[in-house]
Amino acid sequence: MKRLFNLDFGDDDDDVEEDDEFGNLFNEYTSPHPPKVPALAPKEDNVVIDDNICELKHYVRQGPTPQHFKNAGHTKVYTITRTQEEYPSVSHTWHCSGTLLRLLDSMNPDNLNLFQEIWRRGQPVMASNVADKLNPELWTPESFSRDFGETRTDLVNCMTGKRVPNQLLKKFWDGFNVTSKRLKDEDGKPMLLKLKDWPDSEDFAVLLPNRFEGEKTISVFLLK
């Protein structure tokens, strides 16, 4: 194409008709008095809008589907009758209409296959009596306040989702079970707080070596 926007760059007559269309369009939108666009007709009360008029067609995912999406599938509903037949040595119950597995003996080695079947689908598993395998003196709010109270970290106000930066851990742990000791928001109300990334996975074994040993025993068994 040698003519563009009615500018003549040669004598190719074959392109005149097509180029004139572009030229007219260019002239209309560069004119000091562009054509008026007709106003849309007002919407009438009896107009029916078809919600199915817009469709997503020819969509192709950019990159492979993540493996955990392939494995998860839809949430599956289980019955105690079925799982007791398949896993008779595993003491367990079902909650939330058969979608939440509760393992009653957290350290039973026979738990593993049932746990992995549910976990692989992306469904939650609750293990009971885990604290029985831990040193209770190391896992209380008081012990964390004593051992790490002077450490500063970011907290999150769960009521607003806002970050509460650079706070002493003592303020978090002392208010864990005692509402009156919690940090207060701008309205003077106690905040519902959670820790933000403390400790991270890399520092857990270094900062909490005694606690790490007990936690490792349970997590390695469950996620084996």
Distance (Å, rounded) from C-alpha 35 to C-alpha 186?
A: 56
pLDDT band of 45, cuts 50, 70, 90: very low
Lowest mean pLDDT among 79-83, 105-109, 165-169, 173-177: 105-109
DSSP states of 97-159 as a string? TTTEEEESSTT-TTHHHHHHHHHHTT--EEETTGGGGS-GGGSSHHHHHHHHTT-EEEEEETT
pTM of the model: 0.49
What per-residue confidence (pLDDT) applies to 183?
A: 95
What per-residue confidence (pLDDT) applies to 134?
A: 79
Is there a contact between 101 and 78 (Cβ–Cβ < 8 Å)? yes
pLDDT band of 31, cuts 50, 70, 90: low
What per-residue confidence (pLDDT) applies to 204?
A: 73
161 pLDDT higher than 60: yes
The token duo for 112 is: 């593993």
Looking at per-residue confidence, does 193 or 204 come out higher?
A: 193
What per-residue confidence (pLDDT) applies to 137?
A: 85
What per-residue confidence (pLDDT) applies to 6?
A: 43
Quick one: what percent of the chain has pLDDT higher than 90?
Answer: 44
**Kind of pairing, strands 152-157 and 125-127?**
unpaired
Which tens digit of pLDDT belongs to each residue from 185-195? 999 999 999 99
Lowest mean pLDDT among 66-70, 86-90, 158-162, 184-188: 66-70
Average pLDDT, the chain: 75
112 pLDDT higher than 60: yes
pLDDT band of 198, cuts 50, 70, 90: confident
131 pLDDT higher than 80: no
Looking at per-residue confidence, does 105 or 219 come out higher?
A: 105
What per-residue confidence (pLDDT) applies to 191?
A: 95
Distance (Å, rounded) from C-alpha 73 to C-alpha 100?
A: 16
The token duo for 72 is: 């998860």
101 pLDDT higher than 80: yes
What per-residue confidence (pLDDT) applies to 216?
A: 55
Lowest mean pLDDT among 45-49, 62-66, 179-183: 45-49
